[in-house]
Structure 1
Amino acid sequence: MSASELPQITDDDMHRMMAAAQPYTVVVFHRGPHYRDEGARAIIWEHGRRNFALRAAGKLAVVCPIPDESELAGIGVFAANLAETEALMADDPAVQAGVLVSEAHAGRSFAGDALPAWG
């Protein structure tokens, strides 16, 4: 899509939208030192189960596993502050086992944003 095909956004639009931004926490998961150990798949399964529970509780807004061959394992966007998210990650079974390493960052985004359905 070329720049001329994009909607025009004014400075007033920018100020209005930026004022509506809310705090979220972005977690980047990397493959940990025990990612390839025997039993790691079962631990990741329980990590996934916990992610579904966090989604159902309204704490994990977006979960995005990365299934490629890189050291990046996934990304999550949490509807929680940095301290609360770090505490949630400390209780994650895959993080506790060293199968995944989590890196949390305070961020801002817009309530109501969603991943579009496609395909």
Structure 2
Amino acid sequence: MNEMLSHASPYSVMILRTGPKYDTDAAAAAIWEHGRRNFALRAAGALSVVLPVDDESGICGIGIFDRDVDTTVELMNSDPGVLAGVFEFEVHPARGFPGDALPVAED
């Protein structure tokens, strides 16, 4: 375990919550643009894992960023959903093991 811990890499965990304009008519367009941007961030290697949350907790999603906290905050401050007031977020520093991945879902 100590050997594995020495290879842990820094990541940022972003928790996305509903914002004050989440339940407005304009929210759908902002959410669509937020999703499109997530795909671009994934393709660029900045957003390693996207986890939409499907419950009534007020948490909309969790993202694992391969960036430091300050860079992740900067990225999220320019997110279309955040700019529109549809989402709010918080970012936390984290460590993970390179190569970790979600298992492939079986049909």
TM-score relative to the length of structure 1:
0.87
Residue 17 of structure 1 is matched in structure 2 by: 4
Partner SS for 1:27: strand
Structure 2: give runs of 5+ residues left out of the alignment.
none
Partner SS for 1:43: helix
Residue 29 of structure 1 is matched in structure 2 by: 16
Residues 29-108 of structure 1 mapped to structure 2, 5 A cutoff: 29-108=16-95
Task: Tell me, in whole angstroms, the C-alpha distance in 1 between the residues paired with 2:85 and 2:32.
Answer: 14
Residue 4 of structure 1 is matched in structure 2 by: none
Choose 1 or 2 for highest CA Rg: 1
Tell me the alpha carbon deviations over residues 40-99 of structure 1, each in whole angstroms, 9 at most, x when there is no partner. Answer: 011001000000000000000000111222201000000000111010001001111110
For these two proteins, the number of residue pairs brought into alignment is 106
Task: Tell me, in whole angstroms, the C-alpha distance in 1 between the residues paired with 2:12 and 2:47.
Answer: 9
Tell me the percent identity: 52
Task: Tell me, in whole angstroms, the C-alpha distance in 1 between the residues paired with 2:24 and 2:87.
Answer: 12
Q: Which 4+ stretches in 1 moved above 6 angstroms? A: none
Task: Tell me, in whole angstroms, the C-alpha distance in 2 between the residues paired with 1:96 and 1:61.
Answer: 22
Structure 1: give runs of 5+ residues left out of the alignment.
1-13
Deviation (angstroms), 1:118? 2.1
Aligned residue type for 1:117:
V
In angstroms, what is the RMSD of aligned CA positions? 0.7
Task: Tell me, in whole angstroms, the C-alpha distance in 2 between the residues paired with 1:38 and 1:19.
Answer: 49
Partner SS for 1:29: strand
Residue 104 of structure 2 is matched in structure 1 by: 117
By relative contact order (CA 8 Å, sep 6+), the higher-ranking structure is: 2
